[in-house]
Chain A
Amino acid sequence: MTVRGLCFAHGERKIFDGVDLRIARGKVTAIMGPSGTGKTTLLRLIGGQLRPTAGTVTVDGQDVHQLSREKLFQLRKRMGMLFQSGALLTDLSVFDNVAFPLREHTDLPESMIRHLVLMKLEAVGLRGAHGLMPRELSGGMGRRVALARAIALDPMMILYDEPFTGQDPITMGVLVQLIRKLNDSLKLTSVIVSHDVKETSAIADYIYVLSGGKVVGEGSPEALGRTSSPWVRQFLQGLPDGPVPFHYPAPDFLGDLLGGGSP
């Protein structure tokens, strides 16, 4: 997958200004950056839910934003996505959630679906929880079920949106291992969007660091660790002040007086 010269603006605010990424097949690639740099927006652009103002996103040789609706939906079936909240369908059980994509997109007999679903749940260690409803799961379990759903159709690629946020250390460890294991055993291509430096560095093969709508650093975790870029250093080491200022920019007094800002 390649992203070339991607630009995107939200109203007046530029979110991406010429982002180039190359995501290698079969590898775990992480896209990191502080909150508010539009990491989730980037995933939406890749998934074709948003349209860039300039630039292209090519997945498996196809330009995502030139595809017809049918083709786009076909492509999405091959791209699993894991949301921050898990996004399980609340009125379906764990089993039915994982079975949902299979029932929707295949005509497999029910016994076959049952086997496949239990297999996927086993892979994330939650076969015993197949009868539960999503509200009965903890946050980490919900994400694992969502992961099982994302791999239900054996996609070629999975996009993870902040998979580690707000999890306890044990759950984080489980998720880190699962992502690596699934990537290697299912021959997936994984893209992780995250700001959890330690966990992400532990599994990523290649890391892109985004800030201010641009790629400010890239490389393997080791290479990034030796970087001289003050920005990347601040981000990786979690320093409070540096190229990213501690203070939110305050409005210009005169501009405020003249009512130039948004109401």
Chain B
Amino acid sequence: MPVGGLEVDDPGEGDLRWLLKGDWTTRAIPAFEPAPPAPSRRPVRVTVHAGGLTALDTGGALLLQRLVDGLGGAGVQVGVTGLAPAHQRLLELVRSRSAAAGSPVPPPAPEPRLEALGRQVWRHLAEGWALLGFIGETTSVLARAAVRPARFRWRALLATLQSAGVEAVPIISLLAFLIGVVVAYQGGVQLRAYGANVYVVDLVILMVLRELAPMIAAIIVAGRTGSAFTAQIGSMKVHEEVDALRTIGIDPVELLVAPRVVGLVLALPLLTVLAGLMGVAGGMAMAAGQLGVGFHDFLQRAPQAGTLSSFLVGMSKAPVFAAIVATVGCFQGFRVGMGADSVGRHTTMSVVQAIFLIIVADAAFSVLFGWMGV
């Protein structure tokens, strides 16, 4: 590729000759821009000789036009000779279009901070309002299903129980066991310093049954089931399947949401029981291994450690958490717009929102149970 160039020939008396050489193309321009070298004195007339030009594209033509215009603007007479007809046409095209394009559009000014904050708040409020509407719609569908159970999608419910419940057993068991181990170990080290080893029982039972089991189960379910709800409904939305259901005369909330919500409200409490059992088992194993509190002692101490009330408190949270995860998951699925990237974005939002709301609800429960003195 012969690199483009511009040679200035100065025979004197204010007459300059510019000789264009080689390729004036978008890729070759960076090699010789900025051009041309400033003449030592002000020229009166410039003649551009394009005979040596081997290639010209829109980038080169634009550069040439700018150079010519720049000279013209400085009051210099400019003439172009020796342009091939094709190059001539290209130059004219670029000239006519660059006039139409006008001044370059400046990048939009960054939004003022206050306005951005306001928009953000407004968006969240609108989202919250839409979620509220969705909860209402789901509730009314569930109420109708309660009156007419034959209309309920039992098979979809079983599928939800299988995928959200049964298939989550291994991961929840393992994680809950490990959490029990961690709680017993971290607490046990402190208790041993005071010789109060046996209180590890109270610690494990209170922490695991009351707080951690419902929370861990709900968060795992939000991650593996809530996100799946969003992705399933979202991809149906993208493929117009949700619209197709409506035109067939089926309420998508009835078909897609109701069985998922009911399924999760049934599955999560069971998973919470499992998580509680496994967590306590993990704590027992650790207590026996590290703190010298054997299984027998552990179980004997357990009833005095408030096991029943902790268990009931923990269990009362599970259905609420389940409703949060399922509703948010389905809601975000219906918020999916056009395009596959929207599915991914809403899936992420579903998990983040669900976990956020779970923790808010847990805090609310703590306050509530504090009032009730449980």
Residues of chain A having any CB pair with chain B under 8 Å: 44, 47, 49, 73-74, 76-77, 79-81, 83-85, 87-90, 100-101, 104-105, 146, 149, 159, 250-251, 253, 256-257, 259, 261, 263
Contacts and interface: CB of A to CB of B under 8 A. Distances in A.
A146 to B, nearest CB: 8
A178 to B, nearest CB: 19
- The A interface is mostly helix, strand or loop, or mixed, namely mixed
Contacts of A77: 248-249
Contact of B106 (A74, A80, A256): A256
Contact of A88 (B241, B247, B251): B241
Interface string B215-254: 0000000000000000000011001110111111111000
Which residue, B105, B109, B249, B250, has most C-beta atoms of chain A within 10 A?
A: B249
B240 A85 contact: yes
Contacts of A250: 102
**Interface bracket on B:** 20 to 34
17 contacts: A47-B247, A76-B249, A77-B248, A85-B240, A87-B240, A87-B241, A88-B244, A89-B244, A90-B236, A90-B239, A105-B249, A146-B244, A250-B102, A251-B105, A253-B105, A256-B105, A256-B106
Contacts, number: 66
A263 B112 CA distance: 11
A189 to B, nearest CB: 15
A244 B47 CA distance: 43
Contact of B247 (A80, A84, A85): A80
Contacts of A90: 235-236, 239, 241
Contacts of A85: 239-240
Contacts of B240: 83-85, 87
B85 interface: no
A263 B108 CA distance: 7
B167 interface: no
Which residue, A77, A89, A100, A261, has most C-beta atoms of chain B within 10 A?
A: A89
B104 to A, nearest CB: 10
- The B interface is mostly helix, strand or loop, or mixed, namely loop
A261 B107 CA distance: 12
Given A253-B105, A256-B108, A259-B108, A83 B248 contact: no
A89 B103 CA distance: 51
B103 A101 contact: no
B341 interface: no
A205 B105 CA distance: 48
B13 interface: no
B239 A76 contact: no
A216 to B, nearest CB: 27
A87 B243 contact: yes
A159 B249 CA distance: 14
Nearest to A84: B240
Interface in B242-272: 243-251
B106 A100 contact: no
